[in-house]
Chains A and B, each alone.
Chain A
Amino acid sequence: DTGVSQDPRHKITKRGQNVTFRCDPISEHNRLYWYRQTLGQGPEFLTYFQNEAQLEKSRLLSDRFSAERPKGSFSTLEIQRTEQGDSAMYLCASTRGDSYEQYFGPGTRLTVT
């Protein structure tokens, strides 16, 4: 396994701009999760996919956030009209279908100025 990868690792953007993050799960992992982590807190669930189906979205995921997993492999998380409160680490995780054990990527650190 090559592990979960995320791109970019760091993103600095101005308020009001749109940003998109990518997550590549471990090969053959059919569940993919997005979390957000702010300083001093544990990661908070945003959304998850089983294959290409988005099964749950947190109330944290406002209308400015959208996630896709079009072919059941990689996923993208887009934030439109970024706000300073969106500054956080965005983490992606994946699991095999027969296991609940999650494996995390290195995260994308977003700074909105």
Chain B
Amino acid sequence: GIQVEQSPPDLILQEGANSTLRCNFSDSVNNLQWFHQNPWGQLINLFYIPSGTKQNGRLSATTVATERYSLLYISSSQTTDSGVYFCAVEATNAGKSTFGDGTTLTVKP
């Protein structure tokens, strides 16, 4: 099946810093989503981005499907950005999503 690798596994930042999270995947995909998992376990949709670039406030994402990677950018980070960020991909005709192991972000005041 498709492999999904996220890097870095852990990231510690000072408030106000910028960061880039990466997601590499091993096959062509129909779907790629970025999620933020809050401390209670809820997965919050950040971006649905099988290709191209999207922005939402301080967050933006870029997927280069031909090179099989996606990047999530967080600018001017805040303590509320802390948590685990997951990339999930659905391989072409797979009907299901495969998640990476996540990047744990800690933003210190």
CB distance from A67 to the nearest CB of B (A): 13
User: Are B48 and A101 in contact, CB atoms less than 8 angstroms apart?
Assistant: yes
User: Are A101 and B45 in contact, CB atoms less than 8 angstroms apart?
Assistant: yes
User: Are B41 and A106 in contact, CB atoms less than 8 angstroms apart?
Assistant: yes
Contact-residue bracket for chain A: 20 to 34
Main SS at interface, chain B: strand
Q: Which of these, A42, A45, A104, contacts B96 with CB under 8 Å?
A: A45
User: Are A33 and B45 in contact, CB atoms less than 8 angstroms apart?
Assistant: no
Interface string of B36-71 (1 = CB under 8 A from A): 000011110100101000000000000000000000
CB distance from A43 to the nearest CB of B (A): 5
Tell me how many residues of B have a C-beta within 8 Å of chain A.
23
User: With A100-B31, A101-B33, A101-B48 as given contacts, are A106 and B42 in contact (CB-CB < 8 Å)?
Assistant: yes
Verify if A25 is at the interface (C-beta below 8 Å from B). Answer: no
Interface string of A11-48 (1 = CB under 8 A from B): 00000000000000000000001010100111111001
User: Are B101 and A100 in contact, CB atoms less than 8 angstroms apart?
Assistant: no
Chain B hits for A43, CB < 8 A: 43, 86, 88, 99
Verify if B28 is at the interface (C-beta below 8 Å from A). Answer: no
User: With A42-B86, A100-B31 as given contacts, are A55 and B41 in contact (CB-CB < 8 Å)?
Assistant: no
Question: Could you say which of B30, B45, B88, B98 has the most chain A C-beta atoms within 10 Å of its C-beta?
Answer: B88
CB distance from A54 to the nearest CB of B (A): 11
User: Are A100 and B90 in contact, CB atoms less than 8 angstroms apart?
Assistant: yes
Chain B hits for A65, CB < 8 A: none
CB distance from B104 to the nearest CB of A (A): 9
The 9 closest A-B pairs by CB, nearest first: A42-B99, A100-B31, A104-B43, A101-B48, A45-B96, A107-B41, A106-B42, A43-B99, A42-B101
Given contacts A99-B48, A104-B42, 11 further A-B contacts (CB under 8 A): A35-B99, A40-B101, A42-B101, A42-B102, A43-B86, A48-B96, A58-B96, A102-B33, A102-B97, A106-B41, A107-B42
